[in-house]
Amino acid sequence: MKKHTKIISLFLIAVLLLSVIALPTSAAWNWMTATGAESMDRGLSYTVKRASATITVDGKVSAGEEWQYADDSQVFGLSVVNVDSGHPDAEHLLTPTFKAMWYSDGTDAYLYILMNVNDKGIASVGATAWNGDLFQGGFDENGDGTKELALPAMYLGGRELTEGQVSGISRFTYKTDDRRTSDGTGDGYTVEMQYKFKNAADCSGTVLMDLFVTNYLESIQQYERYSWNGIYDGSHAVTGDLVISADLANPNLAVMTDDAIFYNGETAIASRNKDTEGKITLPLKASERTIAGWMTMETTPKFYAPGAKIDAGSTQIKLKAVFAAPVTSTGASIFIGDGNKLRFEATLPSLTDISSYVTEAGFIFVELAKLTDAILADGVTAEELTAASVEFSAVKAEAIAENIKGVATAKDGDTKYAAISYIKIKYSDNAEIVIYSDFSAENNSRCVSEVAAAAYNDRTSVKTEDYTFKQGKDYGVTNFEIMSYSPYANVQLDVLKKLGKIS
């Protein structure tokens, strides 16, 4: 009851001042007249982005911290003034703001706040260690109207709180970078705070939060309070909305409470919740790219296929995209001694990461003319060709290595063959999938005659390490050919000329 009386008296002073003092027309002056309301809700909202790395609570923006990605909040409004005579003039006007980010280490979830206050001075308000100025506020992490943490007066002396220092505070720490001076010409102060969620799973995406700062002036009786959403003392419910962002267009975001977070490299790109069976369906692609699967980010990782349904477990899991689709190299080789053979090559990226899961590698070969637009649109795979009743051959590579080769047998010199490389993977849940390379007709299909003609015409006018054979012979281009150098000796060029159907 006593407290209630005090609140009313504060309001009377505020209202009285409004009527007698000429106020500067600054947006920061946000006088509240909602007497009787539980708080002076300004209806403000702030979107909290996800940090991809932890934040060090040292009062400052340290190297590697992602504070630059967090927006500034709305400027705090003046919520309470308590002065003996007259109100401080505009030079005392503060315009505090904060930034907020959230982070989860997979076990716990944290809300970080970086509050900037342009309070220049430390007032001498008596023999206190805390120099008057302070901040206060509260956190209602599940938005049910009850604060999971109510902050008592937090002083700026750089104090590091532990559970034993302030009763009931075990999930909150802060550090101050204090740049105030006793002559009132300082550069303000910054407070970096860490709030650890009591039960992040209860948070459906909105945390109610508010902060106020108190600036003491000439005496303990003279102070002004500024708050983000209108709270002006610790007894009130907090009502500012901190919206935990699920904006997946921003690469550093995911929903804190979701059961699985998906990464592309160091960046969180998606998140998902378990279904009614307690399972999580893994995304088919990562950042619009085809993937070989998802690897759990734990000491003994597990590897799963794109689209696999896995048990969610009881704690949030993190999975990293593995890009390991084989890449068929451009072009093909022919054999001088056998005009029916075309050799294609491919590379297997990220093989070292998944070598224990790759059970086979190789190629499928198919006549290019048989690839319909529908097959090309769906992607050329053994399943697709079988379904379309298109004949193809499959050739296993001799060994699984970063570079593999495969030989196609051509029916004649002019039929173009398409080559698609593949790897077969056996995942941690024993599922098996074949992953194919992308196919481009321009790069990955050849016939013997065109390879021979290209090899035949591959000349330089000066001798190099690879072009060592001086022709000394005209095959048709007078005065050039006789001077040119080829990787092939004349006897081989004779064969290439014939295979290449060069007249």
Binding site for Ca ion (CB under 5 A): 56, 58, 62, 119, 121, 133, 140, 142, 144, 146, 192, 215
Which residue number, 77 or 121, has a Cβ lying nearer to Ca ion? Answer: 121
Return d(Cα 308, Cα 412) in angstroms, integer: 43
CA–CA gap between residue 417 and residue 390 (Å, rounded): 13
> What number of other Cβ atoms are within 10 A of residue 309's Cβ?
16
Please, how many CA atoms are within 13 Å of residue 34, restricted to the half-sphere of its CB? 14
Sign of CA dihedral 212, 6, 89, 34: positive
Distance in Å, CB of 363 to Ca ion, minimum: 53
| Minimum distance from residue 148 beta carbon to Ca ion (Å) | 5
Pair of tokens at residue 99: 């930034």
Please state the closest distance from residue 259 (CB atom) to Ca ion, in A.
22
- SS3 labels along 423-470: EEEECCCCCEEEEECCCCHHHHEECHHHHHHHHHCCCECCCCCCCCEE
Torsion (CA) 77, 117, 231, 40 in degrees, nearest 10: 10
Give the single-character DSSP code of 88. Answer: -
**Alpha carbon distance 104, 252 (integer Å):** 12
Q: Kindly tell me which of 231 and 348 has the beta carbon lying closer to Ca ion.
A: 231
Minimum CB separation from Ca ion for residue 35, in Å? 26
Element (H, E) at 45: strand 45-50
Contact 418, 380 (CB under 8 A): yes
Cβ closer to Ca ion: 125 or 312? 125
Q: Which is nearer to Ca ion, 215 or 444 (CB)?
A: 215
**Minimum distance, C-beta of residue 251 to Ca ion, in the bound complex (Å):** 22
Least distance in Å: CB of 269 to Ca ion? 25
Which CB atom, from 59 or from 77, has the smaller least distance to Ca ion? Answer: 59
C-beta closer to Ca ion: residue 121 or 306: 121
The sign of the dihedral angle between the CA atoms of 468, 472, 475, 477 is positive
Smallest gap from Cβ 406 to Ca ion, in A, equals: 54
Phi/psi of residue 181, nearest 5 degrees: -130, 160
Encoded tokens for 105: 């280490």
Three-state SS at 413? coil
Cβ 196 to Ca ion, closest distance in Å? 14
Q: Which is nearer to Ca ion, 215 or 381 (CB)?
A: 215
CA atoms within 13 A on the CB side of 108: 10
Tokens of 415: 């039929």
Nearer to Ca ion, 182 or 460 (CB): 182
User: Minimum distance between the CB of residue 98 and Ca ion, rounded to whole angstroms?
Assistant: 14
- Give the separation between CA 393 and CA 418, rounded to whole angstroms: 11
Give min distance, CB of 133 to Ca ion, in A: 4
Within 8 A by CB and 6+ apart from 419, the residues are 328, 332, 342, 344, 346, 363, 364, 365, 406, 408, 444, 445
Contact between 203 and 142 under an 8 Å Cβ cutoff? The reply is yes
Q: Which is nearer to Ca ion, 178 or 367 (CB)?
A: 178
Start-end of H helices in 64-219: none
Nearer to Ca ion among residue 77 and residue 143 (C-beta): 143
Q: Which is nearer to Ca ion, 62 or 443 (CB)?
A: 62
Q: What is the DSSP letter of 181?
A: B
Shortest distance in whole angstroms from residue 143 CB to Ca ion: 7
